A and B are shown apart, each in its own frame.
Chain A
Amino acid sequence: MHRVLIVDDELDVRDAVKRVLERAGYTVEAVESASEALESLRHTNVDVVITDIIMPKVNGVEAIHEIRASFPRVKIIAISGGGNFGITAYQPSAITTTAYLAAAERAGAHLILTKPFESSDLVRAVESVLGVGHA
C-alpha cells in the first residue's frame, strides 16, 4: 500500500485530497506546513508528497528542494491555484504562480497540477508518478 503525504495550509484542501486518495486506496497523512512534512518524512516511509506551492514560512519550492536532497526516492506532485500575490500583474518579471509552478518543476517536482482539479485528475496524477496503470 502506497503512502501519500499532503502538504497544504488550507484545511479544506488538505481534507478533501486526503479523503479522495484514501477512497482510492492510499494511506494518506495530511500536514499544514513544509517543516511538518519533513518531520513526517523522517519517521514514515512516504511514496508520494503532494505539496502546495504558496505557503507561509517555508514555501513549496524550498520544500521540494529539501525533499529531493534528503529523500530522492519520494515522488513529488506540486499543486497551486493561479493568481499572483501582491505582485503587480503587469510586470513581466513578476513571480506569479505559473512561475512558481515552473520553478517547482525545475526544483524536481515530478508532476504539476493546477487547482482546482477533479477527483479523477488527482488519482490519475498519483498513479502517474507511481508508475501504476489504472486498475
Chain B
Amino acid sequence: MARLNSSFARVVAAWVIGLHVILLPALYYAVGYVIKTSHEDLFVENARTFARVLADEFELGVAMESASRTEDLLDVAIVHGDGRYAELIEGVNSTRSKLNSPNVNVSRSTDLHFDEDGDDVYFVVLPIVHGTRNAELRLGFDEQPTLERVHMAQRHLLWLLGSYFGVAIFIAIVLSNRLSRPIQRLQDVSRAIASGEYSQPLEISTGIRELHDLAADLEAMRSELVGVNLRLQSQIREKEASEMRREELQKQLRQKQRLETVGTLAGGVAHEFNNVLVPIILFTDMALQDLPERSAARADLERVLGAARRAKDVVRKILTFSRELGDSKLTAIDMRAVIAEGLNLLKALGPPSIEIHTEVSDTIPAIRADATLALHMVVNLCTNAFQAMQGSNGVLTIGLRSAAGHKVEFWVQDTGHGMTVSTVERIFEPFFTTRSVGQGTGLGLSVVHGIVESFGGIIKVESEPGKGATFRVFFPAFSEHADGSVGLGE
C-alpha cells in the first residue's frame, strides 16, 4: 500500500494477477512435464516390450528360416506395433519390411530417446541369437500419436489454467468491489462530516459485518455531532440574543444617564434662573409704576417684563423635563379620552395640508397618569410631527392599542422628513432642536420624555431620513393588586 492513489480493489486485483502470473506458468510447466514424462515412460515401456516379444519370436520361432518369413514378422511389427520401420541385419545381409515409411532417417537408428531430433521415430535395437546365427533387430516406433496425446493434454491444461485465471481475477474484482464500495461510501461520508456536511443520515448497505458495524458507529457519531451542533447553535443564538439584550440595555442606560445628567443640570439652572427672575420681574414692575403713562422707557420696560415672563415659561418646561412636575397626581386615566381631547385642539392648531388619521382600539386598559400632562404629551408629539411635515402635504397617524407584557402602546406617526440616527439619539435632550433659531425652543420632546418617565413609561423613536418618524410610547397598564398597591405591569 505504498502508493496512496491505489484503490483497495486495484491492490487486490494486482496481487491476484501478480501471484497468478508467477505461479500459473510454473504450474503449467510442472504439470506439462509430468504429463509428458508419464506418456513417454508408457510409450518406451510398450515399445521395448513389443520389441522384446518380436525378438523372442525371431530367436525361438521359425522366422529366421526364410527371408519371406522374416519379412512377414517384420510386417507384423509395422502393422501391430505402431512401427514405422523394421529391419533385421545379419552380417552384410539386411531384410526390411516392405511397409517401412520411406522418409525415416535410418542414420538416426541409434536414437534411443523419445521425442528427439524431431524425426518422430523412436528406435529400439536388439541383438538376436538364433542357434549359431547372430543378427540385429532394428525397430522404429512412431512417436506421433503419443506426442499428439501429450500436446492435447497440455492444451487442455492450458485452457483449464487460463479459465481458472479468468475466474480468479473476476472473483477478486467482484469481492474487492463488494468490499471497497461501502468503504468508499464510508470514506465519502467521513469526508463530508469533516467538511461540516452531516445533515444527511448514513445509508450504507453491506453484508460485511465489520463494515456494517463501522457504518453504524459512524452514524452514531454523526447523529451525536448533529446533536452537539444543534446544542452549540442554540447556545450561540442564546448568547447572541443575550449580548444584544445587554447592548440594548447598556444603550438605554447610557441614554438615561445622559438625560439624568442633563436633567440635574437643568434643574439646578432652573432654580438659579428663578432666583434671578424674581428681582427682574419685581424691579421692572416697580419701575413701570413710577413711569408716566406715555413714556418711551415704559414700552421698553414692558418688553423686559414680557421677556422675563417668557423666561419663566421656559424654566417651567425645563422643570417638567427634570421631573419637577409640581402637584401632578397619577390616577387611572383612559388614554382614548385624552386623545379625543387632543384631537379637538389639533384640528384648530394643525395646518390644513395635513390629514389626521386615528387608529384607536376599542378596549384599552387604563394607565396610571396625570390627564393634563398626558394631553400635554399628545399635543407636543403631534406639534413635533406637524413641524416635521411643514410645507408639504402629509399624514399624521395617532394610534392606541394594547401591547404585549400588559402594556398600552400609544404612537404618533408622521410622513415628514425623518431623522438620522445621531438626531434620534439626541432628540429628547433639552434645547436639542433641528429647526432654525426662533422656530421652537427645543424643549417639546424633552418635556414629552419627562412626562412619559413620570408615568413609568418608555418612549421609542423609529425614523430614517426621508421616511418619516414614529414615536411609540409604552405605558404599563393600570392594575390594582390585592394589597391595594398599584402595579405598573412589568
Q: Does B285 contact A (CB under 8 A)?
A: yes
Known contacts A82-B270, A84-B324; decide if A115 and B275 are in contact (CB<8 Å).
yes
CB contact list, A1-51 vs B, under 8 A: 10, 12-13, 15-17, 19-20, 23
Residues of A within 8 A of B272 (CB): 81, 83
Give 1 or 0 for each of A119-132: 1 = CB within 8 Å of chain B CB. Answer: 10010000000000
| A82 touching B319, Cβ below 8 Å | yes
**Number of A positions contacting B (CB below 8 A):** 30
Known contacts A81-B271, A83-B269, A85-B271; decide if A15 and B324 are in contact (CB<8 Å).
no
Q: Does A133 contact B (CB under 8 A)?
A: no
| A23 touching B286, Cβ below 8 Å | yes
| B275 touching A19, Cβ below 8 Å | no
| B324 touching A13, Cβ below 8 Å | no
Interface of B is mostly: helix
How far, in angstroms, from A13 to B272 measured CA to CA in the complex? 12
Q: Does A88 contact B (CB under 8 A)?
A: yes
| B315 touching A82, Cβ below 8 Å | yes
How far, in angstroms, from A81 to B361 measured CA to CA in the complex? 42
- State the Cβ distance, B417 to closest chain A Cβ, in Å: 31
Select the stretch in B133-141, B181-189, B256-264 that faces chain A.
B256-264
| A83 touching B271, Cβ below 8 Å | yes
How far, in angstroms, from A91 to B282 measured CA to CA in the complex? 34
- State the Cβ distance, B361 to closest chain A Cβ, in Å: 30
| B277 touching A88, Cβ below 8 Å | no
Known contacts A12-B279, A16-B279, A116-B281; decide if A83 and B268 are in contact (CB<8 Å).
yes
| A83 touching B278, Cβ below 8 Å | no
Residues of B within 8 A of A117 (CB): 278, 281
Give me 24 A-to-B residue pairs in the complex whose CB atoms sit less than 8 angstroms apart, sorted by A's number.
A12-B278, A16-B278, A17-B278, A19-B282, A81-B270, A81-B272, A82-B271, A83-B267, A83-B269, A84-B268, A84-B322, A85-B267, A89-B323, A89-B324, A90-B256, A90-B453, A98-B324, A98-B326, A115-B274, A115-B275, A115-B278, A116-B281, A116-B308, A119-B282
The 10 closest A-B pairs by CB, nearest first: A81-B274, A83-B271, A89-B263, A116-B277, A12-B279, A16-B282, A84-B267, A83-B267, A83-B270, A16-B279
Which A residues contact B (CB, under 8 angstroms)?
Answer: 10, 12-13, 15-17, 19-20, 23, 54, 81-90, 96-98, 114-119, 122
